[in-house]
Amino acid sequence: MNQMLAAYIERFGGDEVVRVEPRPIPEVGPSQVLIAVHAAAVNPRDWLLRDGRYVFRSFVVGFPKVLGSDVAGVVAAVGPRVSRFRPGDEVVAMQTTLGQMGGFAEYMAVHERAVAHEPRSADHAHCAGLGVAGLTALQALRDDVGLRGHERVAILGASGGVGHYAVQVGKYLGAQVIGVCSGANHAWVRELGADEVIDYRTQDVVGALAASGGVDVVFDAIGKSSLERVRGCLRAGGRYVSTVPTGENARDQLRSTPTQLLGMPGGLVSRMVLCRSRGADLAVLASMVDAGGLRTVIDSVYPLAQTRDALARSRTQRARGKIILAVRS
Ligand SMILES: NC(=O)c1ccc[n+]([C@@H]2O[C@H](COP(=O)([O-])OP(=O)(O)OC[C@H]3O[C@@H](n4cnc5c(N)ncnc54)[C@H](OP(=O)(O)O)[C@@H]3O)[C@@H](O)[C@H]2O)c1
């Protein structure tokens, strides 16, 4: 009775190390919510962790490790200090950095500060992706580069998990949005709200952006660029923000910190977003969903038993929107 099905690893490695077998149901801490998981979202961090390459793997200490950070489902139990949730509530959550992941399972325990009520207008599968990818898009644009309503923003990787939310968050913040992705994805990225689209496979992205008047912000959602490489399309006072902590980006961020702190006119700024698991921000995303300003595009849905296939799909870096694990039918 105290067992659940979970996808976990007992060592780092390839496909073969992922097992979907019974594990103990996690105990609920005093400030935690135990969620009966209906859907979980796959993120690149899941296969990076499996491979032993996740940058924060030392926080997720010890084996076995249940993979997965993002879930949507129903509250099964709450700890004595939990005040905002009760059993039966439909919720969405992103596990905290110190929370040992644990989303690819029938139950996940998570601190209540990382939980929000689900939007009323979306099902569990469409809510699950809001965690890592949705929060990264919101926090990068709103907090890390302070995107403003009159500005122009280019989203590199606009068809991915983070990118497709970023297109919509950019519109929500009132900006003009240019989506950069391969041509096959242009139509639906425009449907999400992108004002313009650029095919990075056939066009010189920086040249095209510069020719159309430049941009105030480049959000490199796929993390394959740098401030130096996009400098030619940034307007005076422009900001670059990336999801991937490369050495080049760390150096650029260090160099541009005085520019940002001192508010030097015209200076360019480089930032790296680090997604924070805040329930308050999940609630912002949920309200955007209910207001019709945000939706999840689902690339594919896999049963929990096929976690290996879901990770393999994510690893291609060709997903259109979010890959979802259906944990309960
Ligand atoms: N720092 C953080 O807190 C944080 C948070 C979340 C994610 N991340 C990182 O951010 C990256 C993106 O995450 P994600 O979940 O959005 O990944 P994802 O969903 O796997 O991204 C897939 C998308 O990437 C696009 N893509 C692949 N190569 C590209 C290229 N060279 N130029 C432009 N687009 C390209 C593909 O579009 P096309 O098929 O159209 O090319 C596809 O739609 C990952 O490295 C992830 O680890 C970091």
For residue 234, give the nearest of 225, 243, 224, 223 by alpha carbon: 225
Residue 209 tokens, joined: 């952006």
Residue 101 tokens, joined: 């992941």
Domain ranges of the chain: 3-129+296-326, 134-272
The fold of the 3-129+296-326 domain, in CATH, is: Quinone Oxidoreductase; Chain A, domain 1 (3.90.180)
- CA 129–ligand 1 middle distance (angstroms): 14
Ligand 1 neighbours, Cβ below 6 Å, are 43-45, 132-133, 136, 156-157, 159-163, 181-182, 185, 200, 221-224, 243-244, 273-275, 314, 317-320
- CA 21–ligand 1 middle distance (angstroms): 30
Q: HSE of 94 in the Cβ direction (CA atoms, 13 Å)?
A: 23
Q: Which of 144, 274, 317 to mutate to test the pocket of ligand 1 (most atoms within 8 A of CB)?
A: 317
Residues paired with residue 41 on neighbouring β-strands, in sequence order: 70, 324
Residues in the chain: 329
The fold of the 134-272 domain, in CATH, is: Rossmann fold (3.40.50)
- CA 320–ligand 1 middle distance (angstroms): 10
Closest approach atom of ligand 1 to CA 180: 33
Per-residue pLDDT of the chain (329 residues; tens, 9 = 90+): 699 999 999 999 999 999 999 999 999 999 999 999 999 999 999 999 999 998 888 887 789 999 999 999 999 999 999 999 999 999 999 999 888 899 999 999 999 999 999 999 999 999 999 999 999 999 999 999 999 999 999 999 999 999 999 999 999 999 999 999 999 999 999 999 999 999 999 999 999 999 999 999 999 999 999 999 999 999 999 999 999 988 888 888 888 888 888 888 788 999 999 999 999 999 999 999 999 999 999 999 999 999 999 999 999 999 999 999 999 97
For 208-271, give the DSSP string. Answer: HHHHTT-EEEEEETT----HHHHGGGEEEEEEEEESS--HHHHHHHHHHHHHHHHT-TT--EEE
For residue 170, give the nearest of 204, 193, 203 by alpha carbon: 193
The per-residue pLDDT for 1 is 66
Residue whose CA is at the smallest distance from ligand 1 atom 18? 160
138: enclosing H helix or E strand? helix 135-138
- CA 111–ligand 1 middle distance (angstroms): 28
In whole angstroms, give the CA distance from residue 17 to residue 25.
21
Residue whose CA is at the smallest distance from ligand 1 atom 29? 157
Residue whose CA is at the smallest distance from ligand 1 atom 28? 317
Angle (deg, nearest 10), helices 279-290 and 161-172: 70
In whole angstroms, give the CA distance from residue 9 to residue 16.
9
CA-based radius of gyration for the chain: 20
- Cβ pair 92, 116 in contact under 8 A: yes
- CA 161–ligand 1 middle distance (angstroms): 7
Residue whose CA is at the smallest distance from ligand 1 atom 47? 44
- Cβ pair 279, 259 in contact under 8 A: no
Residue whose CA is at the smallest distance from ligand 1 atom 33? 157
Instruction: Tell me the CA end-to-end span of the chain in Å, nearest whole number.
Output: 19
- CA 162–ligand 1 middle distance (angstroms): 7
Closest approach atom of ligand 1 to CA 272: 1
- CA 80–ligand 1 middle distance (angstroms): 39
CB atoms under 10 Å from CB of 143, counted, come to 14
